[in-house]
A and B are shown apart, each in its own frame.
Chain A
Amino acid sequence: MKHKPRLQKNRSSSNFSEKSQAYLHIHAHALFSSLGRLVRNPFTSAMTIMVMAITISLASGFYLFVVNLQQLTGNVESTNQISLFLKSTVSEKAAKKLAYKISAKNKIETVKFISKDQALEEFKAYSGFGDALNVLDINPLPAVIQVLPKNTLDDIQSIESLMAELSQLYQVDFAQLDMQWIKRLQSMMQLMQRGVFLLTLLLSFAVLFITGNTIRLELQNRRDEVLIAKLVGATHSFIQRPFLYTGFWLGILSGLVAWTIVTIMMIILQGPIERLSGLYDGAFDVSYLGFIETVILMGIAAFLGVLGAWGVLHYQLKQIKPE
């Protein structure tokens, strides 16, 4: 073995392309060897990935549920009150008296009387048929009593029974219920959106901890390897690279499985959702995870995998010291 320092120096400094190739090679090797490790321990890997996938699918499934529900409620616009349309034979005085009588009931919050004339004015103002209506000799609109039930009546049944009671009145032509539950549902939706956010946050931490723990075990299994690599001059980033790739694979694979779980669940739910949709005049289609949502799901899953691995490596690699 002859020592040739000059030749050696030339080789290492001039051959930049070979060095960068070597760097890419190290990355590619870490990428595929970490996948290979997962494949070689199929049982352990599958269990980890399933736990992560179920966690992720909980968050994304709930998200999808809310998205669909939002579509449902978004299409129904309504307020909360019962409108009593009075018979045309009822005089304005009698109608006002009736309104007062109704407002005295203890289930009622407020009552608003709209006379025939007021109704006509309103109709002229909002409908755009003002001039056409002038042609008419008589006012075709009925007088209306708008009844706002008390907030304590928060279930549909009691509101409906109140409506039934009011429609029994002989002055009332017919009663119409403007369902307040839609309004409530809407605010419930806002609550649920926030719920989805919190749940996602919480489950993200779960994914972080699962990956972290898996990487920690992997690190323990490969302790000797890490020690020897350190002793022959491996840098921190060289040692952690394959582990980060393991985290990446765990993340992306569980994202993929989660996507499948959610899609299968949506297929199962499609029938009932469509029947429900039919009740709303087929106002919406079932939403699945779209392309962008899928990309985001995968991205977050992969990111959480890498982050979980990185967090553990950051602390544990320092503790593995050659002795």
Chain B
Amino acid sequence: MLKFDHVSKRYADAGDALLDVSFDLKQGEIAFLTGHSGAGKSTLLKLIAMMELCSRGHILLDGQNLNKVSEKQIPFIRRKLGIIFQDNKLLQDRTIFDNVALPLIVSGYGYREIRRRVRAALDKVGLLNKEKKYPLALSGGEQQRVGIARAVVNKPRLILADEPTGNLDPELSTEVMQLFEQFQKVGVTVLIASHDVHLLSQMGHRVLTLDHGQLKAS
């Protein structure tokens, strides 16, 4: 599903962010990406989301080499992904429904299909009754779950989550993680960047540890 093959990323001003990273994620696998801050977690996620290109090596997503993807194809690669951000990145001037619908609208779905899928996704994260509200009317945990609903509404093959529990208390964090496990069960691959060591040990999933850009344990 996702394969890193001797991937390095070097920034002109900051030096090596990733150095010779290789790993494999199977379909339906869930994995944590951890490491100290600046270890390269975000860089790794950015490479998958095609926000950056790697300097050396190859990244294969669903068998497609991301180095060979043209600028015009990037949107279509991103449609295979569901990305969850630490700061949610919700649009404050749009309702919850509209926020969650965005990935479907940009993909050109019809209104009936959008409505059906958005409600299903909101139902999944337990926020169906909030669809007409605006993000600011929701608590931090609820906003994070809206972000998750938006990430899964397009039925992605791979979910990328960047510190999804960073702003949540332990109880909510566990809830969010349980959501990810539910997606995993229906065949979605999940990659979660987190430095919440306590949570990681609790869950018992595969852990990829980065240290100064290098993969320590897999």
Contact A1 B106 (CB under 8 A): no
**Chain B hits for A236, CB < 8 A:** 72, 75
Contact of A322 among B49, B79, B106 (CB under 8 A): B49
A267 interface residue, CB < 8 Å from B?
A: no
Contact B110 A1 (CB under 8 A): no
Contact B106 A235 (CB under 8 A): yes
**Chain B hits for A1, CB < 8 A:** 120, 124, 182-183, 186
The chain B residue with its CB closest to the CB of A231 is: B83
Contact A233 B109 (CB under 8 A): no
Complex Cα distance A321/B78, Å?
14
Contact A322 B51 (CB under 8 A): yes
A23 interface residue, CB < 8 Å from B?
A: yes
**Chain A hits for B111, CB < 8 A:** 22, 25
A279 interface residue, CB < 8 Å from B?
A: no
Contact B106 A232 (CB under 8 A): yes
Complex Cα distance A1/B188, Å?
11
Minimum C-beta distance from B100 to chain A (A): 10
A106 interface residue, CB < 8 Å from B?
A: no
Contact B108 A23 (CB under 8 A): yes
Q: How many residues of B contact A (CB 8 A)?
A: 33
Contact A235 B51 (CB under 8 A): no
Q: Given A232-B154, A233-B75, A233-B76, are A21 and B110 neighbors across the interface (CB < 8 Å)? A: yes
**Chain B hits for A3, CB < 8 A:** 186-187
Q: Which of A60-68, A74-82, A112-120, A222-230 contacts B (4 or more CB under 8 A)?
A: A222-230
**Chain A hits for B78, CB < 8 A:** 230-233
Contact A19 B103 (CB under 8 A): no
**Chain B hits for A18, CB < 8 A:** 110, 112-113
Contact A11 B113 (CB under 8 A): yes
Interface digits, B64-100 against A, CB 8 Å rule (1 contact, 0 not)? 0000000010011111010100000101000000000
Q: Which of B49, B103, B154, B183 has the most CB of A within 10 A?
A: B103
Minimum C-beta distance from A174 to chain B (A): 82
**Chain A hits for B56, CB < 8 A:** none
Q: Given A2-B186, A224-B89, A228-B89, are A22 and B110 neighbors across the interface (CB < 8 Å)? A: yes
The chain A residue with its CB closest to the CB of B188 is: A3
Contact of B51 among A25, A224, A232, A323 (CB under 8 A): A323
Q: How many residues of A contact B (CB 8 A)?
A: 29
**Chain A hits for B168, CB < 8 A:** none
Contact A19 B91 (CB under 8 A): no
Complex Cα distance A322/B81, Å?
15
**Chain B hits for A25, CB < 8 A:** 110-111
Complex Cα distance A234/B83, Å?
14
A89 interface residue, CB < 8 Å from B?
A: no
Contact B108 A233 (CB under 8 A): no
A217 interface residue, CB < 8 Å from B?
A: no
Contact of B91 among A2, A11, A225 (CB under 8 A): A225
Minimum C-beta distance from A282 to chain B (A): 61
The chain B residue with its CB closest to the CB of A321 is: B51
The chain B residue with its CB closest to the CB of A232 is: B103
Minimum C-beta distance from A100 to chain B (A): 85
The chain A residue with its CB closest to the CB of B81 is: A233
**Chain B hits for A234, CB < 8 A:** 75, 106
The chain A residue with its CB closest to the CB of B79 is: A233
The chain A residue with its CB closest to the CB of B91 is: A225
**Chain B hits for A322, CB < 8 A:** 49, 51
Q: Given A233-B79, A234-B75, are A228 and B110 neighbors across the interface (CB < 8 Å)? A: no
Q: Which of A3, A21, A231 has the most CB of B within 10 A?
A: A231
A238 interface residue, CB < 8 Å from B?
A: yes
Contact A233 B89 (CB under 8 A): no
A8 interface residue, CB < 8 Å from B?
A: yes
B155 interface residue, CB < 8 Å from A?
A: yes
B58 interface residue, CB < 8 Å from A?
A: no
The chain A residue with its CB closest to the CB of B51 is: A322
The chain A residue with its CB closest to the CB of B186 is: A3
A152 interface residue, CB < 8 Å from B?
A: no
**Chain A hits for B49, CB < 8 A:** 231, 322
Contact A224 B91 (CB under 8 A): yes
Minimum C-beta distance from A18 to chain B (A): 4
A185 interface residue, CB < 8 Å from B?
A: no
Q: Given A1-B186, A229-B102, A322-B51, are A235 and B75 neighbors across the interface (CB < 8 Å)? A: yes
Minimum C-beta distance from A235 to chain B (A): 5
Contact B103 A233 (CB under 8 A): yes
Identify which of residues 174-218 in chain B touch chain A, using a CB-to-CB cut-off of 8 Å.
Answer: 182-183, 186-187
**Chain B hits for A235, CB < 8 A:** 72, 75, 106
**Top 7 closest A-B pairs, CB basis?**
A233-B79, A234-B106, A18-B110, A233-B78, A232-B103, A22-B110, A233-B75
Q: Which residues of B contact A (CB under 8 A)?
A: 46, 49, 51, 72, 75-79, 81, 83, 89, 91, 102-103, 105-113, 120, 124, 150, 154-155, 182-183, 186-187
